[in-house]
Amino acid sequence: MGDDLQDIVDDLAERLQRSVAIDDPSIRLLAASRHFGDEDGIRVASVLNRTLDADVREKILAQGIARWTAPGRVLAPVAEARSRLCLPVRCSGLLLGFLWLIDADRPLSEQQQERASDAADRAGVVLYHRLVVHERTKARHEAILWELVSADPAIRTQAVDDLRAEQLYPAGAMRFQVLGVQHPGLDAATAPQYAALEAAAGDACQPPAYTLMAANKARAWLLLVRREPLSPAELGALCARLTARFDRLTGDGGQLVFGAGAVVDQVEQVVDSYRQAFLAGRAARLVPSLGPLARWGALGPYELLLRMPADDLLAAARTPVLDALEREGGPTLVTTLEQFLDNAGDVARTAQELTIHRATLYHRLKRIEQLTGCVLNRGEDRLTLHLGLKMRALAAGYRSENAAEPPRMRSVS
């Protein structure tokens, strides 16, 4: 009698002369025996797809089986499906899966149920061992990833060797990119939020993608390894899935922000993508108008300003000409100026985006020149105003993070 999960399933099936299946706690198939004419649509779909439709899984889990400590019968969640005996697979108090027997036409005898319970116990030992091995392996891989972005070059060099030795991605020419994940209120987050952030990030590491994940209480990050890097649309879709998963786990609206570092060609350069990812993530946190995903290489002047210590940026953001503009002209003129400068002085585009007539825009621009003393067709004046506006946006973000004491820029090495 083997100790492998498939051996346990096949042995029980032959003894009972009925099909047996074991799922993980999310009702994804782990092992299944041959059929004995007792299969139904749910069992066939599970074997073919290795899982069930989300609606069917939710109806099954809604019957409270995750809390069971003893066998029980599960009502058929769809028409023409047969009732099942569900045996929770546990070890050391942990729910590790479910063993299923279809018994609608031929109820099991007491002796058969004892055999099934014994099989569930043995499966629990196998799955517990797998869990321990998995957690140890996961911890080792995460440790390598953190060393890969260490400030110490010698530690990074050793991490590169260790990562290659683990063979976690295919050999040959690969592209690497770091995606950082944070919660805007992470400093005040609870342990469940930390766990939910780690779980949501971990879901993105499922095959067939070559994605590695590391997390701690401050942040989570993914190392995306591809022959061809993800497109902006694919990167956005990945972030949306992570946000949706986090929302389902926490119910707080899925408020995650993401920073994507540049794509690099060598694993030795991952540290650069990592630093860029968390600088970009900070931009997403501080400047909501950038959206939940900020990509390094598409942040314009923010890429320069984010490298400044917070105290220096807060001091530099107090630009007299912009203070005068806001005081005398109000937010309308400030918004107009920023839109005009973001559009590189394109009058037609700016007027369209502000839904105003060109004549109105020209009037506002003239008023801006009067209040600031700047000339908008002079390059140095435009640069001063544009950088000033971006520094004010970052400064406002810093202040909103901690109104009592402006936070200092944290090291991302």
Is 273 in the same domain as 239? yes
Is the separation of the CB atoms in 302 and 283 below 8 Å?
yes
Q: Which pLDDT does position 402 carry in this prediction?
A: 54
Instruction: Based on the fold, state whether residues 180 and 287 are members of the same structural domain.
Output: yes
Whole-number pLDDT of residue 187: 53
Q: Which of 247, 273, 297 is the last residue of a domain?
A: 297
CATH number of the domain to which 48 belongs = 3.30.450.40
Give the pLDDT confidence of 98-115 residue by residue, as tens digits: 999 987 667 888 899 999
pLDDT of residue 98: 95
| Number of domains observed in the structure of the chain | 3
Q: Are residues 272 and 331 in the same domain?
A: no
**What is the CATH classification number for the domain harbouring 188?**
3.30.70.270
Q: Is residue 259 part of a domain?
A: yes
pLDDT for position 99: 96
If asked whether residues 88 and 116 sit together in one domain, one would say yes
Q: Using 70 as the pLDDT threshold, list the residues of the chain that sit under it.
A: 1-3, 104-105, 185-192, 205-209, 217-218, 252-254, 401-413
CATH number where 395 lies: 1.10.10.2840
Domain that holds residue 29: 5-124
Is there a single domain that holds both residue 249 and residue 187? yes
The answer on 340 and 252 residing in a single domain is: no
pTM for this prediction: 0.63
Q: What is the pLDDT of residue 248?
A: 77
Out of 268, 297, 326, a domain closes at 297
Do 376 and 268 fall into the same domain? no
Same domain, yes or no, for 99 and 205? no
State whether 318 and 369 are in the same domain: yes
